[in-house]
């Protein structure tokens, strides 16, 4: 199963999802901007968490799978 938002990066503080295909035009990030190209000083527009608080949806899914696999 491939999640619909596999290119997404999730804010672990507030749950905001950044999707590369959509970008974040309201703060000047055009659609199609990969997470790697987001400036290091970028902060979550919702809660102000730094870039390091974000985790890729892909990684989160992998972790979830590992947890499930232990049972
Ligand atoms: Zn946030």
pLDDT at 55: 93
The answer to whether residue 45 sits within a structural domain is: yes
pLDDT at 71: 65
Task: Mark the residues whose beta carbon lies below 5 A from ion ligand 1.
Answer: 11, 13-14, 16, 44, 46-47, 49
The answer to whether residue 59 sits within a structural domain is: yes
The answer to whether residue 2 sits within a structural domain is: no
The answer to whether residue 13 sits within a structural domain is: yes
33-50 pLDDT tens trace: 999 999 999 999 899 999
Residue 45 CA, ligand 1 centroid: distance in Å: 7
The answer to whether residue 3 sits within a structural domain is: no
Residue 26 contacts by C-beta under 8 Å, 6 or more apart in sequence? 45
pLDDT at 22: 92
Read off the CATH number of the domain in which 43 is found: 2.20.28.10
Q: Rounded mean pLDDT of 44-64?
A: 90
Residue 56 CA, ligand 1 centroid: distance in Å: 13
Q: Does residue 1 have a pLDDT over 60?
A: no
Q: How far is CA 53 from the centre of its chain?
A: 9
Residue 55 CA, ligand 1 centroid: distance in Å: 11
What total of structural domains would you count in the chain?
1
């Amino acid at each position: 199963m491939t999640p619909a938002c596999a290119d997404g990066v999730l804010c672990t503080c507030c749950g905001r999802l950044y999707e590369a295909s959509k970008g974040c035009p309201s703060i000047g990030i055009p659609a199609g901007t990969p997470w790697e190209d987001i400036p290091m000083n970028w902060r979550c527009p919702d809660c102000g968490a730094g870039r390091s608080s974000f985790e890729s949806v892909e990684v989160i899914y992998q972790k979830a799978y590992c947890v499930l696999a232990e049972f």
